[in-house]
Chain A
């Protein structure tokens, strides 16, 4: 109970401070739009092309734009030694991590929600043919991205080259979940049913979430306190 309240407090604090300034959120959404525009130059967005690569493009945009939010997650606490204060407070490191992860999760989902219709308009794609299934892929896949991003944001927060090291570490770690989400989203956006063979990707996302959430919760105390 206490743990849940602490988690909620941290998540509420992060969300409030982000929603009041909208610093990362605006940057992240603008960046998502920029990537979407850039991609239209890299490939010819015809209907056939989009049938093959809609999922891949979407998740690349989500992960690139999401990294901006994840990068700030712990770094925002560096000013005025807020991170030290948080670690010294009676909040358990696991609750601190989970609270921050929830806040990031909500922000990432917001970015995705805004990006999807823009993607639909710019690339002339009907993305909402199977909204419930798409949500069933996006919710756990985004959680997987969030967990990896948040724990490594905590790990690299005190590094000299934080902005450089974080992408180098998180993208390879995220590949399993991105790969699965890309594959499934492409199928769903095309309005097809998921073939029996491809359910493994869904299991992969769930397995990824369970394994890395438990690992992060187990290790976060070491990461933050030492």
Chain B
């Protein structure tokens, strides 16, 4: 990677960090407590953006997997695994923040409600994807098999997203205006929520690029090792 690329990455990382810090300041000091829930509602500003981020990452990983299968270029595989890894981390963040909120509002950490259950299944499936990759040594076989699994796995993301519409769940319904047509959330709050989402997306891009470099490097090392063995 060139120096220029490095610099852009640093700048993106710093901007994401500053933006998140500014959002945290705004969320904790700028916004008032919510009427019904009190202070805990603030977790929403991390919970929702985390899920959006992981859905975006999984969607891009799915698209990239399709591209790998059609174009057979390992770059797409590298992108898919990086996006899935970062996405899985955000799935865990989403599950954890949701759990903390549930402990305060519902009095329990977890309930087997369709939305929650499917979110957990999604997390397990993508963890399975990462495990599958460990089990295959040959880079092209690994890329091919994990691309197929990645496409299948995306079905669970769609079900998780739509679960609140399909079932009567204990999980709160949609609040954002693009799904409800507005009126469920104060515009000032909604704006901060989106800002946090974009800041997280920026952070995700930095993490994905870093992870892609690692992956490319590890493939190179693997190649060199094989070369050494051949000699």
Among B10-18, B128-136, B202-210, B223-231, which stretch is in contact with chain A? B128-136
A219 contacts across to B, CB distance below 8 A: 69, 148, 151
Question: Is A212 a contact of B155 with CB atoms below 8 Å?
Answer: yes
Among A1-9, A87-95, A152-160, which stretch is in contact with chain B? A152-160
> Chain A interface residue count: which class?
20 to 34
- Contacts A155-B145, A173-B125 given; indicate if A211 touches B131 (C-beta within 8 A): no
Would you give the 0/1 interface string for A163-205, flagging 1 where the beta carbon is closer than 8 Å to chain B?
0110011001101100100000000000000000100100000
Question: Is A200 a contact of B166 with CB atoms below 8 Å?
Answer: yes
Instruction: Tell me the residues in window 101-140 of chain B with beta carbons closer than 8 Å to chain A beta carbons.
Output: 117, 121, 124-125, 128, 131-132, 135-137, 140
Question: Is B132 a contact of A169 with CB atoms below 8 Å?
Answer: yes
A222 interfacial contact with B, CB 8 Å:
yes
B121's partner among A161, A175, A215, A222 (CB-CB below 8 A) is A175
Question: Is A172 a contact of B145 with CB atoms below 8 Å?
Answer: no
Instruction: Tell me the residues in window 142-165 of chain B with beta carbons closer than 8 Å to chain A beta carbons.
Output: 144-145, 147-149, 151-153, 155-156, 159
Minimum CB distance partner of A211 in chain B: B155
B153 contacts across to A, CB distance below 8 A: 173
B152's partner among A160, A165, A175, A215 (CB-CB below 8 A) is A215
Main secondary structure of the interface of A (DSSP, over half): helix
Smallest beta-carbon distance A130→chain B, Å: 24
Smallest beta-carbon distance A53→chain B, Å: 14
Question: Is A155 a contact of B135 with CB atoms below 8 Å?
Answer: no
Residues of A within 8 A of B (CB): 151-152, 155-156, 158-161, 164-165, 168-169, 172-173, 175-176, 179, 197, 200, 211-212, 215, 219, 222-223, 226
New A-B contacts (12) at CB < 8 Å, excluding given A159-B132, A169-B128, A226-B140: A151-B152, A155-B145, A155-B148, A159-B135, A159-B145, A161-B135, A165-B131, A168-B132, A172-B124, A222-B148, A223-B144, A226-B141
